[in-house]
Amino acid sequence: MERYKIGRIVNAVGLKGEVKVYNYSDYKERFEEIETIFVEDKKYSIMNARYMKDVAILKLEGVEDRNGAEALKDKDLYITEEMLRTLPEDTYYIKDLIGIKVIDTNGQYIGIICDVLKNNAQDLYEIELENKKKFLLPAVEEFVLNINMKEKTMKVNLIEGLLDL
């Protein structure tokens, strides 16, 4: 059964076993829609989900105190494929972007997407060139002109000198 990482437990909250989760999804309320989650290889039922700014606070079944919550710190959260939600148009899962070919406005091959880095400012595509060097491309419309999932290509507009960094 394939699983997909959707967050990471970053700390314990309070004394009753709640955990603070950094959510990798751009849909903050995701944890309200799913009943179970995997912490590494162990399955937990989600008893309650609430939010503080950009983090989720989860109460997991069987985690009854701060010590139990602290034992889960720095562990990744996963869901199964059937738990994935349908995304809006022009929105993609990272798993679907990895490996697609990157071409410039002239149709010249640049490289492939090898990772997508998420942060608070903006997402970044990590692109591996033919010579195995990598560079980061901001996931913004000034650079990313088109993603064609049928052809597995992403057309980009590169600024001069970007590949020389």
Nearest to 106 by CA among 62, 143, 142, 155: 155
The strand pair at 18-23 and 3-13 is best described as antiparallel
DSSP alpha helix (H) spans, the chain: 30-33, 66-70, 94-97
Using a pLDDT cut of 70, give the percent of the chain over it.
Answer: 94
Lookup: tokens for 42: 């162990």
| Chain segment 95-145, per-residue pLDDT in tens | 888 999 999 998 999 999 988 887 666 788 899 998 889 988 888 888 999
Query: Is the pTM of the predicted complex or chain greater than 0.85?
Result: no
Domains of the chain, first to last: 3-83 (2.40.30.60), 94-164 (2.30.30.240)
In this prediction, residue 165 carries a pLDDT of 58
In this prediction, residue 155 carries a pLDDT of 95
Could you give the CA distance from residue 31 to residue 6 in angstroms, rounded to a whole number?
A: 10
| Chain segment 40-70, per-residue pLDDT in tens | 989 999 999 999 887 899 999 999 999 999 9
Number of DSSP helices (H) and strands (E) in the chain, helices first: 3, 12
Could you give the CA distance from residue 112 to residue 127 in angstroms, rounded to a whole number?
A: 5
Answer whether residue 164 shows pLDDT above 70.
Answer: no
